[in-house]
Structure 1
Amino acid sequence: MTSFPATLSFTEYLQGVVVKVNVRFYSPSACGFYPTRGRKRFGSLKYAFYELKDWGTGLDLIDTKLPYKEGTLPAYLASVESRSGVYVVVLWIEVPSGADNSVASIQAHAPVGRASTMANSIAPGTIPGFPCYFAAIPDEGVVMSIRIDDSVMGLNQFQGYVESFLATSSPAVRVDADDESKIVAYADELGDEHDDVQARFSLRLVRHGEQSDFIIQHAHLVRKIVRVRTLESNRPQDRSLWQGLVDELGFTSRPEQTMRTRIKYEMGVSAQPAQIVQIVNDHAESAVAQKDDYGFVMEGDPSTTHWLSNAIASLELDLQLGHERRGREGGEGMVSPSQLLDRLVQRKAQLLEAAGSVED
């Protein structure tokens, strides 16, 4: 039987509760069809999203799985909706399952090194996984990743998925007359065919140039790095550090329930400028103010911390969002794409202001 939070009625659950939404802004570094060397031959952000929506209309979700980068978790097109020049795309990222149609899980509250694993059965006709949310305003050249509470960003899957769509399933694809599995060319808007191009789609973060440039240009003056992290007691990558901190405080018992805490630590450094630049480049995608961030303190100005999250064009919103109806097996489901689209359309001007003006 479907369950929902005890403090909410089922109607209230569907209508939505206020959630924290973090928006990151990107501009396309590649979007369309390119020769091996040289500039884009044809294609646009508007074309990519319009055709993706058109392609997905009427398909079963199982038929939207596309081939892309090997080693990346498979993705399906869960939803594409648009209104007033704003698109919302939801990908469903599949997690691995066993030959017996089960998903592995591990005990959350067992000591490190002593946790047992178990197999959880998957309801017939369902795909185990989690949703990732994206939005775009193609006319302005803006693409957004949408993190709802602590949802996974899934940016690599999104870039790979859109590129694979352009390469294998868009109207531009031309196949061999005798072998429809063989792609021989791509057609532009006028119908002219090109056999010397390939599809490409990649994004780059929109940054507040003055902040990121400042950190990089003054990398040789960095004398201290401040790290802020949010730890969850049941997350494997956090468990050992969590337990170490608990032991350091003199507590030996494990938490009886899932717990989350923020930690902040700092360390004096004498790093090479290239190492500082590498930190900026490696962690810019995941930096979130007061949750997962890096701060840099410069020689001569010990009272100022330059936070990596401040170098990224982002926006924090409180949005009222409901969930899609869930199946009888329960589960968290996903946020209603239509409601998410409504909220973003209402804040379109605010989104564009935060992103700045970038063009495809």
Structure 2
Amino acid sequence: MGRTWIMALEVKLENIDESDKYLYRARTLKIRISTSKTIRAPIRAITNTEMNAKATIPAEIPIEADIGFVNIKLSSGQRRNIKAFLKKNSVYNRIRDSIYYHLLRMQYFPLNVVLVQPTQPAISLLKTKHLKEKFLRMVVDLQIRDLGLNVVTIPWIELTPKELANIYRIYRNNLPDDIEVIPILDISEAESLERYLEALNPYLDQIQFIGVIYKKIATHKASYDVLWERLYDKDIAVLLIDVQREGASDIVPKVASPHYAEFIMGDITAEWVPFGGGAQKLPKRPVDTVIKFFDRSKLTIENLRDFKWNYDDWIDTIASSLNYEKTVIDALQNYPEAQRNPEKLSIIKAISKVHEFRESRDEFKRSQKYINQTDSIDYIKEKEALKKIFLGQKRL
């Protein structure tokens, strides 16, 4: 893939909602991609999993996205084994070709980001400094020389804070100015996160993006508070990676996690990408309790049975965001067939994913206007799930 030369990315804080009516301050950012293209955040990136879903639906459904995010996971098992990636040309080439394929499908998006992230068991196999250096060297070279990317991620591999800061410094000083380097952080422990951000502090005027591996907000409040306190007033976009579809809040378990995160600390959200592999398993429970859809009016994830209950015209509600494609309408009308048909189950699950991305992205763009006008509280009052989380049961 040839190198695409563009000017250096630039992130600028546009507005912080200084309203004192709720504890955290939502914000909007401008991300300049080129002299002619600027992205506004908070926004939702589209992942390779969501692009796969688009390809599964037998219809031409256009996707508009601001950011494409390819998330490839390396394992300690047989599939995409991290040691094989380091030692075997064939494995390296397969992973490179897979990423290249995903990027081809995303080539018209303004910005594309790739992350080759080891799973936790795979990280534990990088036991020595030599193996960690070898892995980073190969992954960075893959992104720059093989894929021609202008954005380079440094995967989370449990470097010490000092080591990560030093790696960032080396890459930043030795790569061309138009290549953006994104360090990826784990936020499992708030005290540890504090140390990493402190180590990166000398470079915060250079860093444009920081990647964060998502953890459930309700059980990691201290970590998100550290992230917010350190970065909410900085010209740095927080890329929240592997965001679970729902379950971020114990108060409203069905809240759509990306839309909760934008009011804590998530400028760009990319949903969870499974490791993949294996055949489609037919559900044991009724299919309309297994398949879930994004309810834009409430910002919740509802199973199909509840979604149908909430919307008399539920088929039209879903199909309207998917160009009223006949194959989509047919799949929705005949959804009970997915109970025993793996292919039809795959299609209706894909419809759910693509519908969610399109509706969610549009809703992010709508929320930007409220935040930019310091009207976050009015937006929160509109949305049942956010209202309950941030404002409780009091009268409004």
- TM-score tier, shorter chain, comes to under 0.3
- Structure with the bigger percentage of strand: 1
Tell me the TM-score normalized by structure 2: 0.24
**Which of the two has higher C-alpha Rg?**
1
Choose between structure 1 and 2 for higher RCO, CA contacts under 8 A separated by at least 6 residues: 1
- Structure with the bigger percentage of helix: 2
